[in-house]
Amino acid sequence: MAVRSRLTSFEQVPMCFAGWDGTIEQVTCGRFEGSLQVVRSRAVRVIRITGTQSLRLRGQENGTIVSLTPVLPGNAAGVWHGQRLDPGQVVVRGPDAGIDHRSARTSEYLNVSVPVAALEAATRAIGGPDPLPALRAWAVLTPRPDDYRALGLATDRLLGATGDWPVLSDPEAGQFEQEYLRLVARALGTGEEAGRSPTLPARLSLLSRAEELMRGSLRSPLGVLDLCAALGASDRTLRLVFKEQYGCGPMTFYRRLRLNAVRTRLAADAGVPVAAAAREYGFTHLGNFAADYRRHFGERPSETGRG
């Protein structure tokens, strides 16, 4: 199967994942535009996706696949589970891994998904070490440069089959698929796990607690002093953590979460009045709300979910 399509809404992004269960929110302001390319063979699925706004994804995929996302110049500005990574590395999500990612405002992603059974068979066939015990969750690997380059060239070739559907199912394609699985297994088997910053856990813990507090209070918004008191953190520390991860202050991020909540409400029920949805999430000045909504999503709230 091969597909190319234009994305006109960030809510379309989860269709790129296998059995997605989670949330997606737009962090930066402006209308989202992007593109999607999908190529699927019997045991491999490759996706290329581009986008023009920073998105926050939290959730999980189908628990029977291993996913690889190479860090490219087009996505290196993103934040992966609180970390910034370098081109040449590969983010690997095992069957038990969740997704916690913020994309850069202008970005390009490649994602390779392989069933666990197919990867295990390929690894046994080449006599390599079984990478799965160490990759049940989330990991960052640095493959050897030759392995990274070979996998990249093979991925480009597979994506080049988009305009020629028969090549994905003919006998020669079966040989190519096996070679591709060999390259994936080799990259995982020889890749070294990247180190992590020793100061990261404290910052991520504060950020995580702050986000959970905000998400739990979307309908009854808290003030900055409430946040500081509940988190036991100074205003300066909170601002630094959010600026580092999201490029904005905590209250701006909190407002954007509430705007996303209203958008989800409007998209889910075309009959709900805009004013009612806005007030449900604490927006009482409707003129300001409408202006903020249009600035953030590039459309009026009355246009969301109304076809």
pLDDT of residue 299: 93
**DSSP string of 203-250?**
HHHHHHHHHHHHHTTSSSPPPHHHHHHHHT--HHHHHHHHHHHHSS-H
Confidence band of 238 (pLDDT split at 50, 70, 90):
very high
Look up residue 287 and give its two tokens: 């003129």
Cβ neighbors of 133 (< 8 A, separation 6 or more) are: none
List the beta bridge partners of residue 40: 45
Confidence band of 282 (pLDDT split at 50, 70, 90):
very high
**DSSP string of the chain?**
-EEEEEE-SGGGGGGGSTT-EEEEEE-SSS---EEEEEEE-SS-EEEEEEESS-EEEEEE--TTEEEEEE--TTTTTSEETTB---BTBEEEE-TT-EEEEE--SSEEEEEEEEEHHHHHHHHHHTT----GGGGSSEEEEE--HHHHHHHHHHHHHHHGGGG-GGGGTSHHHHHHHHHHHHHHHHHHHHPEEPP--TTHHHHHHHHHHHHHHHHTTSSSPPPHHHHHHHHT--HHHHHHHHHHHHSS-HHHHHHHHHHHHHHHHHHH-TTS-HHHHHHHTT---HHHHHHHHHHHHSS-GGGTT--
Minimum mean pLDDT range among 103-107, 175-179, 281-285:
175-179
* Domain at 2-193, CATH homologous superfamily: Jelly Rolls (2.60.120.10)
Question: Tens of pLDDT along 46-91?
Answer: 999 999 999 999 888 767 888 899 998 888 889 888 888 999 999 9
What is the chain's mean pLDDT, rounded?
85
Question: Tens of pLDDT along 13-39?
Answer: 877 776 778 889 999 999 999 999 988
Task: Report the candidate in 135, 139, 169, 173 with the shortest Cα–Cα distance to residue 154.
Answer: 173
The pTM score is 0.82
Domain boundaries of the chain, sorted by first residue: 2-193, 200-303
Look up residue 82 and give its two tokens: 């609180």
* Domain at 200-303, CATH homologous superfamily: Homeodomain-like (1.10.10.60)
Return d(Cα 86, Cα 64) in angstroms, integer. Answer: 28
